[in-house]
Amino acid sequence: MCASDPRPLLQLDALVAGYARPVVGPVSLRLARGEVLGLWGPNGTGKSTLLKAIGRSARVFSGCIELESGATLAHLDQQPVRLPAMPVTGRELLRAAGARPEEPERPGRLPDVLAPLLKRRIDRLSGGQYQLLWVWSALATGADLILLDEPTNNLDPANRAALIEILGRERDGRGVLIVSHDHDFLERVCSRLFEARDTGLVEVRTARGPES
Amino acid sequence: MSEMLFDPLFQLPLLTGLLLAGLLPVLGALAMLRDEWLAALGLAHLASASALLGQVLGVPALIGATLGALGGGAIKTFLAARGNIAYAFMILAGWSATLLIGANTALGEQLARSLVEGQLYFAGIAELAAGLLLLALCIRYLPRLMRPVLRARFFPRYETANRLAAWRWHLGLDLLTAGGLAIGTLTLGLMGTFALVLVPAWIAFRLAPSWRWTLIGASLTGVVGYLLAFVAALELDQPFGPVLVGGLLGPALLTGWLGRPARIG
């Protein structure tokens, strides 16, 4: 037990995580519902490992991770899975992700840029289109906490702008934690931004501010 | 052609094979999605070896083959051995055991040969009943397994992140695949079964517009290929297994030659 009331969606308390040996930490932070939290910094500071620890894919050496009881996670790696042949349409991908059937394709909710992709095989999409659909598939689920690792990979300026728009309107009631090297992207979508340094996480100011 | 298809002598083998020809490609598509297409050959070899071992111990071949393949599938799940490497070891173990048992027992030698060549025309009521049981299990469980299989493929961190007991559906799918391969190996032969799992799924993966049509297309390709091979083998008095494999490779070559690019950008 490492949290005090009122409980946030996610709380890290002096977390040290890694694989065979510690890679990141000690790290402490709190993420409330409705927040989009960005993590930025140079390679090798353990940003992706931190996401994996929250997603239960990395080892926790000390400290603790407390997640709101019953909260579900969606955790996307840096690169979407691409097979030589993937006979799955965009709509089928959304269903596989567990996208809530009554909502993801509702007019006004599905981003316009994604609508034409739903009937196409995902292996016939460009890398950027697939990346965008993949990220949307996580957002369209009922996941309470969404972990995104470098979501702007493969995105051209148009798709990057679309992702910024999607993240801007899909934050109600859930928490999003994003790792990215794209500082400008994080500035645009995050309510709070942290810089990973050797000494730990340092919160930096953002243009949006915590309540924007 | 129609006379042979409706000849009472061949009705039971025809029905049994037809059922498997529709089912095995669906299991093959799922194996291909999991990048475990070598499953077919590995489990077929295990089924073959355990059928022979069963004969030596006085156990019916169908039961021996099914137990061997199911055991292989279960062990694979519990060792968390995902991917083709687990099946490669099954192939080597099964091949070695099949040939050794066949070489050292008279009955084993006969059965080993029929398993390799395919013995469709001798399929009886036991094989048909096993096929129907497999069909019932697939109808009951595959729709439930489909979403977790797709989700695990495209969102591999989901189960770990949410502490889901993924082993249950991994085991379920492994057992269905193993059961299908065991019954298929005894009915259609080792390579015929492997071809029905691999080739229709491979073709459908390249041509189908969606996952739903991949399953439908693979199943239809298997059924049509099987029917053509059944008639051709009888008409031309050829061993069934090689005719089936040859018949399936034709459209596969055509698909490869058409060479639709799988990815853009």
Q: How close B211 gets to chain A, by Cα (Å)?
A: 5
**Residue reference for tokens 């509702």:** A106
- Is the separation of the CB atoms in A98 and A141 below 8 Å? yes
% helix, strand, coil for chain B, step of 5 = 85, 0, 15
Decide if B265 and A81 are in contact by the 8 Å CB cutoff: no
Name the residue facing B209 among A55, A95, A121 (closest C-beta).
A121
- Spell out the per-residue pLDDT of chain A, length 212, in tens: 454 446 788 888 888 888 988 888 788 888 888 888 999 888 877 888 888 999 888 888 888 988 888 888 988 888 888 887 899 999 999 888 887 655 555 544 677 788 888 899 999 998 888 888 888 888 888 788 999 998 988 788 888 888 888 887 766 688 899 999 888 888 888 888 888 877 677 778 666 554 43
Task: From chain B, pick out residues whose CB is under 8 angstroms from the CB of A147.
Answer: 161
pLDDT band at residue B206, thresholds of 50, 70 and 90? Answer: very high
Give the HSE-up count for residue B221: Cα atoms under 13 Å, Cβ half-sphere. Answer: 32
Classify residue B63 as exposed, middle or buried by CB count within 10 Å of its CB (0-12, 13-18, 19+): middle
- Is the separation of the CB atoms in B114 and B189 below 8 Å? yes
Name the residue facing A123 among B35, B204, B263 (closest C-beta).
B263
* Rounded Cα–Cα distance for residues A120 and B264 (Å): 12
Return phi, psi of residue B64, to 5°.
-60, -45
Interface residue B154 vs chain A (CB under 8 A): yes
Decide if B265 and A74 are in contact by the 8 Å CB cutoff: no
pLDDT tens column, A156-191: 888 888 888 888 776 668 889 999 988 888 888 888
Nearest residue of B to residue A51, measured between CA atoms: B161
pTM confidence score: 0.84
Taking the CA atoms of residue B159, residue B162, residue B164 and residue B169 in that order, the dihedral angle to the nearest 10 degrees is: -30
Interface residue B150 vs chain A (CB under 8 A): yes
Name the residue facing A81 among B154, B163, B209 (closest C-beta).
B154
* Rounded Cα–Cα distance for residues B15 and B26 (Å): 18
Q: Kindly write down the DSSP assignment for every residue of B91-135, as one continuous string.
A: HHHHHHHHHHHHHH-HHHHHHHHHHHH--GGG--HHHHHHHHHHH
Strand order in the sheet with A59-67: A22-31, A10-18, A59-67
Decide if B35 and A83 are in contact by the 8 Å CB cutoff: yes
